[in-house]
Structure 1
Amino acid sequence: MTAPVTAILLAGARPVPDPLALAAGVPVKPLAPVAGRPMIDYPARALLDHAAIAQLVILTQRPDLYAADPATAWLATHPRVRFETGGQGIASSLLALMEGEGLTYPVLLTTADHVLLDGAMLDQFVAEAAGADVAVALVERRTLLARYPQSRRTWLKFRDGWWSGANIFWFGSDKAKRMIALWQEVEQDRKKGWKILAAFGPVALFGALLRLLTLRGGIARVGRKFGLAARLVAMDKAEACIDADKPEDMTLIEAILRSERPEA
């Protein structure tokens, strides 16, 4: 049985104003309404409703904004929720949090714009990530396009398919800090897949470019390089990689929330 999981929900702000926040007239993107509720409300409730999650840590530069908003004030008083103040960088904020006290492993990390996160996704991810030092959730392109053919994502191409991130990560032990330190180095280039691969060495970079590596094997190999067990979790649900990043994402997400079979 998996040990009680600490969930971290990233709810920070970008260094520059976010277009979705500006359009909604709210100070930070996680407070932007989706189908009448702040987007952070959806993943927060999904995490707290899941049996594996023991506590929820919300990492943000402005905890006061959530306590002041009537729609999210419940988070500030919930007995299993605590706010931690982060800086501008995700990786540096995580490392600071992990170096402090009161954070127990395993840790599941996701984002406040993961509006469609649900119990089925958490069931699969926790079950398949358990036992790893680091795990990352991804969705293969065929899984997404079979259900939402017009959805546009950032894809990394490997021998075992085209993959897009699902913004769910697993840190099973203190060893995960080794990978987060590398994440810190390439954080500004996280949308540029080849730069991230280059950080793992020429074998990973050219292997991916020549389609010599599977992503599953590549993640495991990188993990071994850092002395830890790393794992890919291929998510079954296409919705796992649809986050609220652009206006068209918001339109699709609201359609999904309204109907089990939206026109995408």
Structure 2
Amino acid sequence: MTFDVLVLAGSRGGTDPVAAYAGVDDKALIRLGEATMLARVVDALRAAGAGRIAVSANSPGVRAEALRIGAEPIDAAAGPSLSTLAGLSALGTPLLVTTADHALLRPEWVRDFLADTPADADVAALLARRDVIARDAPPTRRTYLRFADGDWSGCNLFLLRNPAAEGAVRLWMAVERDRKRPWRIVRRLGAGTLLRYLCGRLTLADALARLGAAAGVKAAAVAARHGLAAVDVDKPADLDLVRGLIV
């Protein structure tokens, strides 16, 4: 499958603690070995077979770095969901979406994700089980979603396969808007779904089916084959971990 890529590298405003820890202006510009974090991500995507690679950024330094490494800078919007919608409009589908802080990204993870995505899925996300992360990654604190069929952590890798996937992005936008009004999020998913989750009876597949129905899409979770796919650079300890793994 031919595909284009959107790399989210926008700033949330204020001082980024990881960038400050590394002594740079923007997290995407942190050097890991001979390359910036953004360059490592773009190199992995290109090796995986990506066509057009766009970098969503509002920092002049990140935009300049995108041009230097042969990617296309596009304007970041106010938040990742709006930036993704803008990228979807500019690039079309199928579109792979990832982040500039996915510093350990490997071409085979991308190829495996695309190969393992169900053929009928409009949108898919890569997630790693807790036991797979424990098997492959050094001790690291990750955020887990706890479902009846196991604990899962996101891997910052998404596939918007066809135009219908825009519905999922718009649901994401609505959830971002309502993050300080959680009752509205619950209302979209249904109280029964929330109760099943709180009682430990909701499986990941059931949750995605409910989310997909709310967005009008067929959504799928793809299990990561390698636990390191769940490691990104959100805090200084993550940067120390990644630096120790890149030799």
TM-score, length-scaled by structure 2: 0.89
In structure 2, C-alpha distance between the alignment counterparts of 1:111 and 1:8, rounded to whole Å: 8
Instruction: Name the amino acid aligned to 1:217.
Output: D
Provide the secondary structure at the position in 2 that maps to 1:40: helix
Q: Tell me the alpha carbon deviations over residues 67-125 of structure 1, each in whole angstroms, 9 at most, x when there is no partner.
A: 545xx6522xx2xx3111012211112223334xx423111000000011101211111
In structure 1, C-alpha distance between the alignment counterparts of 2:210 and 2:188, rounded to whole Å: 14
In structure 1, C-alpha distance between the alignment counterparts of 2:28 and 2:218, rounded to whole Å: 32
Q: How does 1:56-75 map to 2 (within 5 A)?
A: 56-62=53-59, 64-66=60-62, 68=64, 74-75=68-69
In structure 2, C-alpha distance between the alignment counterparts of 1:197 and 1:251, rounded to whole Å: 37
In structure 1, C-alpha distance between the alignment counterparts of 2:17 and 2:236, rounded to whole Å: 9
2:72 is matched with which residue? 82
Instruction: Name the amino acid aligned to 1:56.
Output: I
Q: Tell me the alpha carbon deviations over residues 212-253 of structure 1, each in whole angstroms, 9 at most, x when there is no partner.
A: 121023213321343321100110101100001112111211
- Determine if contact 2:63/2:73 at 8 Å carries over to the other structure: no
Deviation at 1:189, TM superposition (A): 7.8
Task: Name the CA shift for 1:120/1:97 in 2 (closer, same or farther; >3 Å).
Answer: closer
In structure 1, C-alpha distance between the alignment counterparts of 2:175 and 2:200, rounded to whole Å: 22
Report whether the alignment pairs 1:110 with 2:98.
yes
Q: How does 1:223-238 map to 2 (within 5 A)?
A: 223-238=212-227
- Determine if contact 1:194/1:205 at 8 Å carries over to the other structure: no
Provide the secondary structure at the position in 2 that maps to 1:233: strand
Structure 2 spans left out of the alignment, 5+ residues: none
Q: How does 1:135-214 map to 2 (within 5 A)?
A: 135-148=124-137, 150-187=139-176, 199-214=188-203
Report the more deviating stretch, 178-187 or 113-122: 178-187
Identical-residue share of aligned pairs (%): 33
Instruction: Name the amino acid aligned to 2:104.
Output: L
- Determine if contact 1:137/1:233 at 8 Å carries over to the other structure: yes
- Determine if contact 2:81/2:172 at 8 Å carries over to the other structure: yes
Instruction: Name the amino acid aligned to 2:18.
Output: L
- Determine if contact 2:77/2:86 at 8 Å carries over to the other structure: no
1:262 is matched with which residue? none
1:251 is matched with which residue? 240
The structure 2 residue matched to 1:129, chosen from 88, 113, 117, is 117
- Determine if contact 1:11/1:112 at 8 Å carries over to the other structure: yes
Deviation at 1:35, TM superposition (A): 3.1
Number of equivalenced pairs: 244
- Determine if contact 2:189/2:210 at 8 Å carries over to the other structure: no
Deviation at 1:11, TM superposition (A): 0.9
Instruction: Name the amino acid aligned to 1:111.
Output: T
Deviation at 1:195, TM superposition (A): 8.7
TM-score, length-scaled by structure 1: 0.84
The structure 1 residue matched to 2:107, chosen from 119, 136, 142, is 119
Provide the secondary structure at the position in 1 that maps to 2:28: helix
Provide the secondary structure at the position in 2 that maps to 1:117: coil
